[in-house]
Amino acid sequence: MKEKIKHVGLRKNTTIILWTLLIGSVFFGIYKNFTAIDQHTVHEEKVIEMKLVDTNKIESFVQNFAQEFYTWEPNQEQLDARMERLKNYLPENLQQMNQEMIRSDIPTKSTVNKVQIWEVGAINESYYKVLYSVNQVIEESIGEEVERRGVESAFSVTVRINKQNQLVLLTNPVMASLPSKLEVKNDPLQDDSTITQETKEEIKTFLTTFFTAYPSASETELLYYVEDTTIQGINENYIFSELRAINYFEDNEGVKVKTAVSYLSPDTKATLVFDYELVLKKNQKNWVILDGI
């Protein structure tokens, strides 16, 4: 009789191993997934501190230098005194270079009327480039007459400063150009078509009344026109003249108004024009100013 051969759980063992690998892979995947999320959601915050540099010393240094450098008269004794004062600003090589800048036989006398600093730019921690302008009054003898004229010029210099706040000019003034006017084209404003003519007339009447009272009105009086309870009086004797221009626009809170208001100053006799951009709303009967004053 042939004996039966028993197979003791080979398939069972294989199945257990495969399930173990599968479950392990799932848990490992979940772990890696959470780890990846953590890695991507943790950000390092960097705080950038802006270092503010006080340039007042540099500006004053250049202004004082320019006052001395551009002032002269054809007198050898005074020219020598001028060069002696310039030693406080210039290194030795620039002192020598400027010895012959102004001679005693020069036909002009120069007085500095104004020095204006336009820009102080940092080259590094110790070196700065300074742009400035000088307004001079030049006197020139022509025969027996003395001609006076104003001259305005722009220059730049390089200044060095150390930690002990000692300064020196490293360059002679170099001719430069000043910032120029930005040309802006203002298109005419068009009123919002949704605002009726009746509303416009009401607002114009209200603003005329308000701006007539505004310069001399007390805080209590102003609360009749303005919603802001912290408003303060102007306490001026300006006399209201007219609303020179007024435009109306729809606003979420009411009506936005852009207007130019003309006043006469009794003290200076000048006509002053102030621009306002106001937000108004109408209560039960009256208009009030929400913003702009």
pLDDT of residue 54: 78
Does 192 fall in a domain?
Answer: no
Does 26 fall in a domain?
Answer: no
Q: How confident is the model at residue 50 (pLDDT cuts 50, 70, 90)?
A: very low
User: Does 1 score more than 80 pLDDT?
Assistant: no
Which among 68, 95, 167, 155 is positioned nearest to 127, based on CA atoms? 167
Q: Are residues 256 and 220 in the same domain?
A: yes
Q: Are residues 129 and 239 in the same domain?
A: no
Q: Are residues 119 and 226 in the same domain?
A: no
> In the 8-state DSSP scheme, what is residue 146?
E
The proportion of the chain whose per-residue pLDDT surpasses 90, expressed as a percent, equals 68
Number of folded domains that form the chain: 2
**Domain end residue (candidates: 144, 175, 206):** 175
Q: Are residues 79 and 170 in the same domain?
A: yes
Q: Are residues 88 and 154 in the same domain?
A: yes
Does 40 fall in a domain?
Answer: no
Q: Are residues 156 and 267 in the same domain?
A: no
Does 13 fall in a domain?
Answer: no
User: Does 7 score more than 70 pLDDT?
Assistant: no
pLDDT of residue 187: 79
Q: Are residues 60 and 169 in the same domain?
A: yes
Q: In which region does residue 150 sit, left (phi positive, over 0), alpha (psi from -120 to 50) or beta (all else)? A: beta
**Dist CA 116 CA 155 (whole Å):** 11
Which among 86, 104, 109, 108 is positioned nearest to 96, based on CA atoms? 86
Amino acid (1-letter code) at residue 13:
N
**Dist CA 265 CA 38 (whole Å):** 69
CATH of the domain at 62: 3.10.450.540
Which of 32-36, 75-79, 99-103, 119-123 comes out lowest in average pLDDT? 32-36
Does 8 fall in a domain?
Answer: no
Query: Do 159 and 88 meet the contact criterion of CB atoms below 8 Å apart?
Result: no
> In the 8-state DSSP scheme, what is residue 130?
E
Does 252 fall in a domain?
Answer: yes
Does 43 fall in a domain?
Answer: no
Q: What is the pLDDT of residues 135-169, one digit of tens each?
A: 999 999 887 888 999 999 999 999 999 999 999 99
Q: Are residues 210 and 105 in the same domain?
A: no
Domain that holds residue 215: 197-291
Cβ neighbours for 16, distance < 8 A, ≥ 6 positions apart: none
Q: Are residues 67 and 114 in the same domain?
A: yes
Does 50 fall in a domain?
Answer: no
Query: Do 276 and 259 meet the contact criterion of CB atoms below 8 Å apart?
Result: yes
